């Protein structure tokens, strides 16, 4: 899973959620895990236009199906209870 560096470095954002085009699942990754990865310079395409920018990629993400969205809610509760805002909350 990839994310723009400009989003990762915002201290107010700790997690990223992305839906697929079928809107049947959501992919979740914690910024704490991304911050451990190296930064790469890429030409990236977004919905509105192409951009050149920095990004990071992580293998530490989880996909939650909409039909089992309670699992996502449980993970978020666990993360806040244990103060683990990284892959260990999955």
- Indicate the domain borders of the chain: 2-83
b/e 57-68 (16+ beta carbons within 10 angstroms → b): ebebbbebeeee
Say which residues have a Cβ less than 8 Å from residue 52's Cβ, sequence separation at least 6.
Answer: 41, 42, 43, 44
**Mean pLDDT across the chain, nearest whole number?**
91
Sheet strand arrangement including 25-30: 15-19, 25-30, 62-65
Is the pLDDT confidence value at 56 over 90?
yes
State the pLDDT confidence band at 17, using cuts at 50, 70 and 90: very high
pTM of the model: 0.82
């Amino acid at each position: 899973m990839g994310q723009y560096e400009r989003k990762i470095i915002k201290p107010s954002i700790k997690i990223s959620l992305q839906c697929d085009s079928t809107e049947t699942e959501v992919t979740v990754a914690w910024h704490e895990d991304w911050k451990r990865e190296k930064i790469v310079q890429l030409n990236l395409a977004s919905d509105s236009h192409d951009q050149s920018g920095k990004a990071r990629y992580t293998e530490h993400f989880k996909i939650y199906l909409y039909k089992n969205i309670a699992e996502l809610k449980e993970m978020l509760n666990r993360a806040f209870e244990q103060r683990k805002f990284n892959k260990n909350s999955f």
